[in-house]
């Protein structure tokens, strides 16, 4: 299969193929233009993979440009986090990072050009009055009383805005288009507003800031973007995108194409609502492992490859739909099943004493790091007289469908021996504190010599060598598939989205690194937490379970 044949296809790539074949463009130039007012989420990952992926596949270029036109909501913290996320996903932008603020001087002069052409005016209506004058979907708007000012007056007033001689909200620059347009975005949209706020890139150089719709198309043209890709909510805005470029003296003419945004079950991708979760401390910051942010998924143990695979699987269309969370989790499981080393951890421990095993011997057993990848090697694990097993792996009585340890019956310890439960010891409340067992020394990684059939296998760790660990069992943050549609989305928070266990891990995990996932055998996939793990205090996050428990 050729490289071209192996590429994913979609309507945008088909447009690009046609443009190249027709000679419209010789090279492809895209851009990823996030606003630095929060951390990137899974929806942005789709856009990143689309824009950077197209540039990669067509041997073109993709810019990273920050849409930094609203300094009151932006922060360098968000700028830095976005750069980290793009690089972590495996992509590299062309040249230096770009900012819309790089073009503030040019944008200002293009605004003056529109004024001089009689296509923009300074309006002194309040924000509420502008909203009222704009009309509705069924009622046309009406002209502002300031709409017919002369060019000279508008130039003077716009300079007055620039020089800080108007208070915030007392004046703005609007395009003069058509207050009766069936498209509300074309009813004299605001191009500039006043904000006395220091900007993270330009400091206090400006007190007027351009609006997104004015800035974006001009920035695309300045950067010679060929295909400007955005989500469907900007479909009507394309009319304004083209209107601005049609009415200023700029050579390049990029074209905007819209695709459906990513909606994910049991998650929200509204930055405003995500910010509320953070500010109200409902979650542990933007990178909380329950958040749908790229940094949250990274901290949880999702791999960049799994997210890229997910974005490719869901495709790019104009059809709005909601993707099942299980699809994302399937991609994560598939990647980790192939790549995550195995280890053993006991999340709800109960002590087991193997009475016929030596009290002084520490037997070293060699275990494969991956059952299907011998190149990942083996690790040594100590087997001792006292071990921990999971409390759910033992019952005093059980039916034949229970394949774990039962009083008076046998089970195999993972990569070790067959043991039989003989008796138990309980505390005053009737809770089992110790299980006393015997082992068959002839059964190390093989069946009993007399032909006994052992059906169950359970995991374990040595009491002597186990490392205490805090295990954080993360689940879906919301208990309804579409929390964003609820009257109060906070009322749909899943109270069990985080359960903390105090367990034990095998000593091979001592050198674990954050963001590197392991399969804890029979439990799921876990990675060391990057925030709370310190020196000998081990905190592991559950990345995803071994199977989809929500569909059961």
Nearest to 419 by CA among 442, 392, 437, 398: 437
Q: Is 45 known to sit in a ligand binding site?
A: yes
Q: Is 5 known to sit in a ligand binding site?
A: no
**Residue 503 to residue 343: CA distance in whole angstroms:** 14
What beta strand segments (E) does 414-536 contain? Answer: 418-426, 432-440, 457-458, 461-462, 467-474, 498-505, 517-520, 524-528
Indicate which residue of 98, 271, 472, 476 is catalytic: 271
Q: Is 262 known to sit in a ligand binding site?
A: yes
Q: Is 285 known to sit in a ligand binding site?
A: no
DSSP symbol at 51: H
Q: Is 99 known to sit in a ligand binding site?
A: no
- 271 catalytic? Reply is yes
**Residue 536 to residue 549: CA distance in whole angstroms:** 32
Q: Is 488 exposed, middle or buried (0-12, 13-18, 19+ CB in 10 A)?
A: exposed
Structure tokens at 405: 């340890």
Q: Is 43 known to sit in a ligand binding site?
A: yes
Q: Is 467 known to sit in a ligand binding site?
A: no
Tell me how many degrees the CA angle 468-474-480 measures, rounded to the nearest 5: 160
Indicate which residue of 7, 35, 142, 409 is catalytic: 35
User: Residues 24, 227: contact at Cβ < 8 Å?
Assistant: no
Q: Is 282 known to sit in a ligand binding site?
A: no
Q: Which residues does residue 363 pair with via DSSP β-bridges, in sequence order?
A: 383
- Give the DSSP H/E element, type plus range, for residue 275: helix 271-279
Indicate which residue of 261, 379, 391, 522 is catalytic: 261
Torsion of Cα atoms, 471 then 292 then 56 then 25, to 10°: 180
- 261 catalytic? Reply is yes
Structure tokens at 423: 């008796």
Q: Is 141 known to sit in a ligand binding site?
A: no
Q: Is 10 known to sit in a ligand binding site?
A: no
DSSP symbol at 299: H
Q: Is 46 known to sit in a ligand binding site?
A: yes
Binding residue positions: 35-37, 41-47, 67, 212, 231, 261-262
Known binding positions for L-glutamine: 67, 212
Annotated binding site for ATP: 35-37, 41-47, 231, 261-262
Residues with a known catalytic role: 35, 261, 271
């Amino acid at each position: 299969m050729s490289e071209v044949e192996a590429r994913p296809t979609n309507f945008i790539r088909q447009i690009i193929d046609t443009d190249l074949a027709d000679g419209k463009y010789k090279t492809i130039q895209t851009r990823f233009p996030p606003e630095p007012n929060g951390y990137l989420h899974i929806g942005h990952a789709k856009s990143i993979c689309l824009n950077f992926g197209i540039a990669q596949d067509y041997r073109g270029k993709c810019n990273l440009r920050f849409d930094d036109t609203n300094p009151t909501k932006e922060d360098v913290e968000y700028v830095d986090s976005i750069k980290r996320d793009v690089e972590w996903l495996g992509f590299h932008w062309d040249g230096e990072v770009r900012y819309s603020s790089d073009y503030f001087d040019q944008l200002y002069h293009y605004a003056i050009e529109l004024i001089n052409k009689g296509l923009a005016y300074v309006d002194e209506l309040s924000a509420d009055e502008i909203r009222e004058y704009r009309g509705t979907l069924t009622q046309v708007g009406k002209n502002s009383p300031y709409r017919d000012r002369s060019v000279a007056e508008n130039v003077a007033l716009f300079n007055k805005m620039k020089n800080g001689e108007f208070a915030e909200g007392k004046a703005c620059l609007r395009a003069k288009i058509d207050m009766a347009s069936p498209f509300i975005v074309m009813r004299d949209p605001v191009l500039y507003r006043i904000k006395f706020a220091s900007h993270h890139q330009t400091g206090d150089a400006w007190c007027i800031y351009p609006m997104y719709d004015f800035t974006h198309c001009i920035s695309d043209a300045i950067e010679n973007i060929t295909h400007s890709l955005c989500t469907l909510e900007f479909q009507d805005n394309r009319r304004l995108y083209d209107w601005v470029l049609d009415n200023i003296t700029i050579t390049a003419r990029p074209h905007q194409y819209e695709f459906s945004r990513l909606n994910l079950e049991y998650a929200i991708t509204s930055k405003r609502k995500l910010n509320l979760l953070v500010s109200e401390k409902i979650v542990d910051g933007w990178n909380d492992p329950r958040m749908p942010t790229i940094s949250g998924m990274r901290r949880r143990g999702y791999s960049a490859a799994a997210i890229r695979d997910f974005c490719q699987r869901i495709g790019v269309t104009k059809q709005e739909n909601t993707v099942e969370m299980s699809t994302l989790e399937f991609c994560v499981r598939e990647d980790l099943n192939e790549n995550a080393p195995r280890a053993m951890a006991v999340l709800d421990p109960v002590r087991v004493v193997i009475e016929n095993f030596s009290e002084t011997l520490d037997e070293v057993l060699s275990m494969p790091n991956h059952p299907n990848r011998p190149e990942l090697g083996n690790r040594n694990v100590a087997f001792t007289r006292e071990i921990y097993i999971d409390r759910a792996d033992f019952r005093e009585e059980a039916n034949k469908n229970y394949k774990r340890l039962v009083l008076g019956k046998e089970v195999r310890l993972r990569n070790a021996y067959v043991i039989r439960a003989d008796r138990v010891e309980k505390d005053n409340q009737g809770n089992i504190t110790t299980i006393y067992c015997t082992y068959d020394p002839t059964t190390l990684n093989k069946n009993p010599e007399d032909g006994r059939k052992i059906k169950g296998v359970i995991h374990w760790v040595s009491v002597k060598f186990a490392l205490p660990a805090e295990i954080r069992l993360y689940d879906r943050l919301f208990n309804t598939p579409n929390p964003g549609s609820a009257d109060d989305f906070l009322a749909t928070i899943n109270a069990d989205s985080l359960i903390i266990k105090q367990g034990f891990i095998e000593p091979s995990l001592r050198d674990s690194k954050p963001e590197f996932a392991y399969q804890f055998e029979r439990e799921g996939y876990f990675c060391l937490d990057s925030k709370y793990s310190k020196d000998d205090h081990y905190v592991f996050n559950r990345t995803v379970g071994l199977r989809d428990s929500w569909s059961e």
